[in-house]
Amino acid sequence: MSKAALLDEVRRRRDELFELCGRLIRIPTENPPGDTRALVAFVADHLKTHGIESTIHAPKPDMPNLVATLGAGRRRNLVLSGHLDEFPAGDGWTFPPFAGTLADGKIMGRGAGDMKAGLAVALFLVTLLRRRDVELDGRVTLAFASDEETGGRWGTEWLLANVPEVRGDACLIGESSGTWSIGIGEKGVLWLRLTASGVSGHSAYGQGVSAVGKILRALEEITAFAGTRARTRAEIVDVMRRQRALVERRWGPGTGRMADRLTLSVGTLRGGGQVNLIPARSEAEVDLRLPPGMSVRTLESQIRRRLKSRRLGDVEITVTNRCDPHVTSPRDPLIGALVDSGGAVLGTKPLPVIRLGYTDGRFFRREGIPTAVYGPRVHRMGGPDEYVEQDEVMQVALVHLGAMLDYLGGR
Q: Tens digit of pLDDT for each residue in 26-47?
A: 999 999 999 999 999 999 999 9
Instruction: Report whether pLDDT(411) > 60.
Output: no
Share of the chain above pLDDT 70, in %: 99
31 with 140, same domain?
yes
How far is residue 351's CA from residue 239's CA, in Å, rounded to a whole number? 9
Examine the fold and report which residue of 280, 301, 323 is the final residue of a domain before the chain moves on: 323
Residue 392 lies in a domain: yes
Instruction: Report whether pLDDT(381) > 60.
Output: yes
128 with 109, same domain?
yes
How far is residue 402's CA from residue 405's CA, in Å, rounded to a whole number? 5
Q: Mean pLDDT over residues 275-282, rounded?
A: 96
List the one residue out of 142, 6, 7 whose CA is nearest residue 65: 142
Instruction: Report whether pLDDT(339) > 90.
Output: yes
Residue 146 lies in a domain: yes
**pLDDT at residue 409, as a whole number:** 83
304: CB partners within 8 A, 6+ apart: 317
**Cβ atoms of 282 and 272 closer than 8 Å:** yes
Q: Mean pLDDT over residues 186-212, rounded?
A: 96
How far is residue 289's CA from residue 196's CA, in Å, rounded to a whole number? 23
Instruction: Report whether pLDDT(70) > 60.
Output: yes
State the chain's mean pLDDT as an integer.
96
The pTM of the whole model exceeds 0.95: no
How far is residue 121's CA from residue 119's CA, in Å, rounded to a whole number? 5
Q: How many independent structural domains does the chain possess?
A: 2
226: CB partners within 8 A, 6+ apart: 261, 262, 263, 264
181 with 32, same domain?
yes
**Cβ atoms of 290 and 190 closer than 8 Å:** yes
341 with 265, same domain?
no
Residue 40 lies in a domain: yes
In whole angstroms, what separates CA 212 from the centre of its chain? 35
Residue 179 lies in a domain: yes
Examine the fold and report which residue of 279, 298, 323 is the final residue of a domain before the chain moves on: 323
Instruction: Report whether pLDDT(191) > 90.
Output: yes
Examine the fold and report which residue of 299, 323, 347 is the final residue of a domain before the chain moves on: 323
142 with 167, same domain?
yes
How far is residue 15's CA from residue 7's CA, in Å, rounded to a whole number? 14
**Structural domain span for residue 203:** 188-241+257-323
